[in-house]
Amino acid sequence: MRHAHTVAQVRDAESTLLASLPDGVLMQRAAVGLSHAIIDFLGGIYGRRVVLLVGSGDNGGDALWAGAHLARRGARVHAELLAERVHPAGLAALRAAGGTTSDGSAQIGDGSRRVSDGSADVVVDGIVGIGGRPGLAENAQRALARYAGVPMVAVDVPSGVEVDTGQLPGAHVWADLTVTFGTYKVAHLVAPAAAACGAVHLVDIGLDLPPSAIRTLQRDDVARLLPRPGAHSHKYTRGVLGVRAGSATYPGAALLCMDGANQGLAGMLRYDGAAVDAVRTRHPEVVGGGRVQAWVVGPGSGADAEAALTACLADRVPLVVDADALAFVTAPLEVPAVLTPHAGELARMLDVDRGEVEEAQLHHAREAASRFGAVVLLKGPRTVIADPSGEVLINTTGVPWLGTAGAGDVLAGVIGTLLAAGLMPWEAAGVGAWLHGAAATRAAADGPLTASVVAATLRPTIGDLLHPGAERA
């Protein structure tokens, strides 16, 4: 798993490591890693013009030392100093290596001269680091405006973001690449700040960090968690999923939900709903009512949603609650459950504005998980999966094309089949979201997506995880 740590955790680890190292070694590790990442980003460095935007903290020191390394390799490096005092050793090193500097610390209205014509091959954001307050000073905003359109590399995090929440409460840097040190931070993974980070490159500087409450599943984690039949397994021991989805108005939702569920990961699928003829025509393996190990309820259920949810809850088995059925979740559930709202649905459940949910996704997903006693999967560009314990998974697979009608119905089916097969709710949600996003990414290579195309790509995506490196006919 990939862990994302808070500022306090990183500071504690840095303090411990600094006590065992000669002065300046940790910053040198960061600066060397940063300089190599910039070289890779540009595809070479000799003769390139590099502009550093430098603030007062160690973040600015990292940028200055990296600039010194780049200048010694033939780059033309210029630092705009945005604070009255910057890291003295880093500044001396940059000047000794042939880098130039100018004073960009003056505020608007003091008559300071324009320090650059805005031309550069890359701008390095060393304005504020993980300890900085959200937002940017006016002189920093003015400096960034001069370099609009120039590729931006952020040091540790884009300046101005809220590091521990992933929020963007004020002016901030939009980076093409963020080079971070020791560990990922929350803002690298959680939307909307994750979008401001661009690609994220991690430099190992030797920090010893504890487990984190915010993580992402990686390919190997998903492969390990996928259910596999044993030598003596049969259709009942492998899990039976029931689906109550679709209606006379929305029969397609039932079909898409069954498309997601019918990937072979569970032993049997049962369907109970208004679209039974269409479901059985498309999926002849599906049978009628009976005992199940898990339910999916809500996709396209319309006016039947409340009754369907009540019937599912009466069975006392785990369930996935999606779409129309979410409106009837008003109190903690008494069975293990995964709720799968998008931002608008979660806003209604919490009685807040949709914009509030979108701006503070981590906070609201956690609040909902605690309030309803269930795993909450908040769908979005970076899907947030919150457990009532406070543990969070962030899903990083997928493409923008996945924002298409019916994709959520497919996802609910995938999660349901994993739940029936025996995964814990947070595992089923995390693995299901990863598979759904990975299938979308794979399918998008051939063009725009529909939910049906994503569902059709799930099985080969799963096959690649179960049999890595196997030759395909």
Place of tokens 């324009």: 114
Under the banding of pLDDT at 50, 70 and 90, the label for residue 468 is confident
Average pLDDT, the chain: 94
Residue 262: closest CA among 276, 233, 283:
283
Q: What is the 3-state secondary structure (H, E, C) of the chain?
A: CEEEECHHHHHHHHHHHHCCCCCCHHHHHHHHHHHHHHHHHHCCCCCCEEEEEECCCHHHHHHHHHHHHHHHCCCEEEEEECCCCCCHHHHHHHHHCCCEEEECCCCCCCCCCCCCCCCCCEEEEECCCCCCCCCCCHHHHHHHHHCCCCCEEEECCCCCCECCCCECCCCCCCCCEEEEECCEEHHHHCCCHHHHHCEEEEECCCCCCCCCCEEECCHHHHHHHCCCCCCCCCCCCCCEEEEECCCCCCHHHHHHHHHHHCCCCCCEEEECCCCHHHHHHHCCCCECCCCCCEEEECCCCHHHHHHHHHHHHHCCCCEEECHHHHHHCCCCCCCCEEECCCHHHHHHHHCCCHHHHHHCHHHHHHHHHHHHCCEEEECCCCCEEECCCCCEEECCCCCHHHCCCCHHHHHHHHHHHHHHCCCCHHHHHHHHHHHHHHHHHHHHCCCCCCHHHHHHHHHHHHHHHHCCCCCCC
The verdict on 149 and 297 lying in the same domain is no
Residues 201 and 287 in one domain: no
User: How does residue 149 score in pLDDT terms, banded at 50, 70 and 90?
Assistant: very high
Judge if 80 and 201 occupy the same domain.
yes
Same domain, 204 and 244: no
pLDDT digits (tens, 9 = 90+) for 150-179: 999 999 999 999 999 999 999 999 999 999
Q: Is residue 333 part of a domain?
A: yes
170 and 239 together in one domain: no
Question: Do 323 and 282 sit in the same domain of this protein?
Answer: yes
Residue 337 falls within a domain, yes or no? yes
Domain boundary among 162, 178, 211: 211
At residue 119 the predicted structure's pLDDT band, cuts being 50, 70 and 90, is confident
- Whether residue 110 is predicted with pLDDT greater than 60 in this model: the reply is no
**pLDDT at residue 18 above 80?**
yes
Lowest-pLDDT range of 103-117, 194-208, 341-355, 419-433: 103-117
Same domain, 206 and 241: no
Q: Give the pairing type, strands 384-386 and 392-394.
A: antiparallel
Q: What's the pLDDT score for residue 289? A: 85
CATH label of the domain that carries residue 322: 3.40.1190.20
Question: Percent of the chain at pLDDT above 70?
Answer: 96
Using an 8 Å Cβ cutoff, are 153 and 147 in contact? Answer: no
Q: Are residues 190 and 274 in the same domain?
A: no
- Domain boundaries, position 349: 219-466
Pair 169, 315 in one domain: no
Q: Evaluate whether residue 473 is within a structural domain.
A: no
387 and 413 belong to one structural domain: yes
Tell me how far apart the alpha carbons of residues 52 and 44 are, in angstroms, rounded to a whole number.
Answer: 17
Residues 383 and 240 grouped into a single domain: yes
Instruction: Give the end of a domain, one of 176, 211, 246.
Output: 211
* Residue 272 sits in the same domain as residue 296: yes
Residue 382 lies in a domain: yes
Instruction: Tell me how many domains the chain contains.
Output: 2
The verdict on residue 472 lying in a domain is no
